[in-house]
Amino acid sequence: MIRSFVRFASAAALVALSLSAGLAAAQQQVPAAPAPEPSAPAPSSAPTFPKPDPANFTATSPSKDLVNAFLQASWGYDDSRVWQVQAILKTEVEGISKVVVVVGDKTGKQKPAALQFFALPDGKHIIAGEDIVPFGDHPFAEYRALLQQRADGPYRGSALKDLELVEFSDFQCPHCKDAQATMDKLAVDFPKARIVFQSYPLERIHPASRNAAAFGACVAKQGGSDAFFTFASAVFDGQDGLATPDGATLTLNSAVTKAGLDPAKISACAATPAIGAEIDASIKLAKDLTINQTPMLMVNGRMVPIGGVPYNTVKQVVAYQVKQDSLSQ
């Protein structure tokens, strides 16, 4: 039995691609995923997984090859990770299969875990924990197409969308402020990337975030992307000022001035229904992508939490996706 060999890890580990630090540090509209259990003392070699029992492969779909292709697309950036498909089982619901995978690492530093998810009849999605996640040998293709069509925020870098890094961010989110250093480094290390700032104000927990997003949209309209990124940098630098209504006004007006624009004109623009609709459309895009936290980076449709994640890990994921999409950077 699988349970006698390893613990069952949170399915959020599958969704987050094991970037658990990002989930812990991100601003979420839903409760954070449970923290991973402490690792066991490092063994001297990689784990030996139990031999799969043929009796545990009762479902005809998905195939073991497809599950492995999906996991390779999701986890292949980490050369130390190893896994084995342990079961693909029929369930009580026609067309829904339960998939169990055991996961470890070549160094033996992490305690082996078993992940489970449910493959849906459409062959394109799975249920992992409370999330519906894209599935398949190219699981990020649909989200990539959606972003290419609808991610219309200010951008820096390439006008082309071959490598599109879309950052969903909230001006009042402390972890989004910290993530700007990551975005700046990505701009240097991937000079051919199109790096888009897409506003996702979590107004329920950050009351000033929507107005800040509206100001940013107007700055981009009146001054272009260069003015926007000057504005954004100033807002993040003065983020503490957003905590009160008067402080927010001073912070936003100061950031507009630093961007070389007129605060009165930007304020009037930010109050218009058209800008409100633009912010609503950006929020809807985030929700259509099932994003529930900030900051979140979409790398050609691949979801990468970046709050608190070491830069080298983020860079590794981006570089792997470049390779997967057969791009030259």
Nearest to 216 by CA among 252, 249, 182: 252
Averaged confidence pLDDT in the chain: 88
**Are 252 and 315 in a shared domain?**
yes
Q: What is the mean pLDDT of residues 30-52?
A: 59
Does residue 130 contact residue 161 with C-beta atoms inside 8 Å? Answer: no
Residue 329's pLDDT band (boundaries 50, 70, 90)? low
Q: Read off the pLDDT of residues 118-168 as tens digits, 9 standing for 90 and up.
A: 999 999 999 998 888 999 999 999 999 999 999 999 999 999 999 999 999
* Cα–Cα separations (whole angstroms), residue 279 to 151, 270, 300, 327: 12, 10, 22, 32
User: Is pLDDT at 260 greater than 80 in this prediction?
Assistant: yes
- Compute and round to an integer the Cα radius of gyration of the chain: 22
| CA 204 from centre of chain | 20
Residue 169 CA to residue 32 CA, distance in Å, equals 18
**Are 64 and 183 in a shared domain?**
no
Residue 2's pLDDT band (boundaries 50, 70, 90)? very low
* Cα–Cα separations (whole angstroms), residue 128 to 15, 24, 270: 7, 18, 39
Q: Read off the pLDDT of residues 108-125 as tens digits, 9 standing for 90 and up.
A: 777 888 999 999 999 999
**Are 28 and 56 in a shared domain?**
yes
Percentage of the chain beyond pLDDT 70 is: 86
Domain of 274, in residue numbers: 142-324
Q: Read off the pLDDT of residues 267-311 as tens digits, 9 standing for 90 and up.
A: 999 999 999 999 999 999 999 999 989 999 999 999 999 998 999
Q: Is residue 98 part of a domain?
A: yes
Domain-ending residue, one of 137, 160, 177: 137
Other CB atoms within 10 A of residue 138 CB = 14
Residue 7's pLDDT band (boundaries 50, 70, 90)? very low
Partners of 106 in the β-ladder: none
Residue 78 CA to residue 76 CA, distance in Å, equals 5
pLDDT for the residue 27: 57
Q: Is residue 171 part of a domain?
A: yes
Q: Is residue 1 part of a domain?
A: no
DSSP string of 7-26, one letter each residue? EEPPTHHHHTTT-HHHHHHS
Q: Is residue 87 part of a domain?
A: yes
Residue 254's pLDDT band (boundaries 50, 70, 90)? very high
Residue 289 CA to residue 301 CA, distance in Å, equals 9
- The pairing of strands 194-199 and 164-169 is parallel
User: Is pLDDT at 221 greater than 60 in this prediction?
Assistant: yes
Domain-ending residue, one of 107, 137, 167: 137
Rounded to the nearest 10 degrees, the angle between the axes of helix 209-237 and helix 273-288 is 80
Q: Is residue 168 part of a domain?
A: yes
Q: What is the pTM of this model?
A: 0.86
How many domains is the chain partitioned into structurally? 2
pLDDT for the residue 218: 98
The two structure tokens encoding residue 200 = 């996702």
Domain-ending residue, one of 113, 137, 161: 137
CATH number reported for the structural domain that contains residue 262 in this entry:
3.40.30.10
